[in-house]
Amino acid sequence: MLCLFLWSIWKTIDVLLRTSSMDYLLFENVGYTWLFYVLAIALLIALLGGFTFLITPKIRIFYVTSQIAVVLNLLFTAMSSILAMRFPEQAQNAYTASREARGLSVHQATLDMMTNPVSHTIVLIVATGFAILWLLLLNKIKNNPAFIKEIDDDSIDLD
């Protein structure tokens, strides 16, 4: 779990800083750049809280933050998929520009899949499955007596 949160933090920072990422370009192409930044910054904050939960599981607020991170990650994926379904040409342009900016080739098969709603539905199903798995694992960590000692809400020890 720790590696998953670290990787997600890294990817979110990368997407925020690199204005040639497909996510950024898609949101920009359809006029929702503001929504991209709201989702990405909220996700980054929640991921940092979730990472903190995995390091210091005694502080319960970070457990809630870790759950919020998983839900925001799913929401970000869902919004990207919905925008790509609604605006397939802009999604194709974003994919092409992102690949070319990194010196990578553009695959026609991938461009063709972007016009197929089934491919976006599969992405949403897989992302939902991973989100459920993450939430179950976080709950298991929270309830594992070998990993965390139960404490009272009044006695959160930050030392």
Tens-place pLDDT, residues 50-80: 888 888 777 777 888 889 999 999 999 999 9
Closest C-alpha to 66, from 45, 50, 52, 48: 50
CB contact at 8 A, 58 and 151: yes
42 compared with 139, residue with greater pLDDT: 42
Which residues contact residue 32 at a Cβ distance below 8 angstroms, ignoring those fewer than 6 apart?
83
Of 78, 72, 53, 77, nearest to 1 by C-alpha is 53
CA distances (Å), origin 28, targets 13, 41, 91, 103: 17, 16, 10, 21
Q: What pTM, to 2 d.p., does this model score?
A: 0.80
pLDDT reported for residue 147: 59
Contact criterion met (CB below 8 Å) for 118 and 28:
no
What distance in Å separates the CA atoms of residue 61 and residue 159, rounded to the nearest whole number?
A: 16
Specify the pLDDT at position 145: 67
Ranges of each domain in the chain: 2-147
- pLDDT of 86 higher than 50: yes
